Structure 1
């Protein structure tokens, strides 16, 4: 896959949001309890992605002219406030095209390269605690379990990969 990894513009945020909607449907169809449609899409709507793009935090992976994966990359994340404060990118809302196997993994690989270039020591993320498939996916990609955060409504597993 010949790809390009770049920050997205606010005009491209609609494409990123479409990937998220597609992935929510895929999660539902595959029994993965990660992003519950009504709750997730109300919080992470198109305006959220447009704002992230304006701040330079929405990144995309293109295969030719097609956006095949995207995520919001933050320099800080309050979910990690009780852990070592180190230069890191915090990956949120990672979504990849359902018909492009490996696009999410390639996004993470290229995010690692870019994070190193930006003097980051870790890629950090969270996923729903107890969601076996998504936790196994990140474990396989080298994201070690660090701890948990959240309350009764949502408990997340914090994971990080040393760069």
Structure 2
């Protein structure tokens, strides 16, 4: 079985959105507060993912031709403006297929390898403050607590992994 990590093109952005929608439903059934359906899906819609793909920022983990995990990887993130200015990739909208345990972790591993290749010093992300399960997951993956961020409708915990 071939597993590949690559950029997703605009025509395939709908696949990333489908993973996000699937993950939102899964989060709801597990009672994990991370992505509130109406707010999240209205902001992170097909146009958002297509634009990220056009800009070369939408990445995917493929098993053969099936997308099993995806995220938007940014070089800058305003949520981190008060922190060390260092070359980093900022992980947003990470979603994996619910029937592929470990796909999210594998995506993060591949993103980390690619970030090192690109001379990045950190892999950074945020998740909802108070969401114990997702914070514990990222802690287990080596993403250390760095601080907090706040926006309308969202208070997040900033986490980073030094590469």
Scaled by the length of structure 1, what TM-score is found?
Answer: 0.98
- 1:15 alignment counterpart: 15
* Map of 1:111 onto structure 2: 111
State the TM-score, normalizing by the size of structure 2: 0.98
Question: SS of 1:34's equivalent?
Answer: coil
Runs (5+) with no aligned partner, structure 1: none
Q: Which deviates the most, 147-156 or 132-141? A: 147-156
For residues 5-154 of structure 1, what are the structure 2 equivalents within 5 Å? 5-151=5-151, 153-154=153-154
Match of 1:158 in 2: 158
Q: Deviation per CA, 1:114-138: give whole Å up to 9, x if none.
A: 0000000000000000000000000
The RMSD of aligned alpha carbons is 0.9
Structure 2 unaligned segments of length 5 or more: list them: none
1:22 deviates by 0.1
2-side partners of 1:152 and 1:69: how far apart? Answer: 27
CA separation in 2, counterparts of 1:88 and 1:144? Answer: 15
Q: Matched residues in 2 for 1:100 and 1:60: separation?
A: 14
1:152 positional shift: 6.4
1:151 to partner: Cα distance: 4.5
Deviation for aligned residue 1:154: 1.4
Give the CA deviation at 1:36. Answer: 0.3
Q: CA deviation at 1:2?
A: 3.7
**Number of paired residues?**
163
- CA–CA distance in structure 1, aligned partners of residues 34 and 127 of structure 2: 7
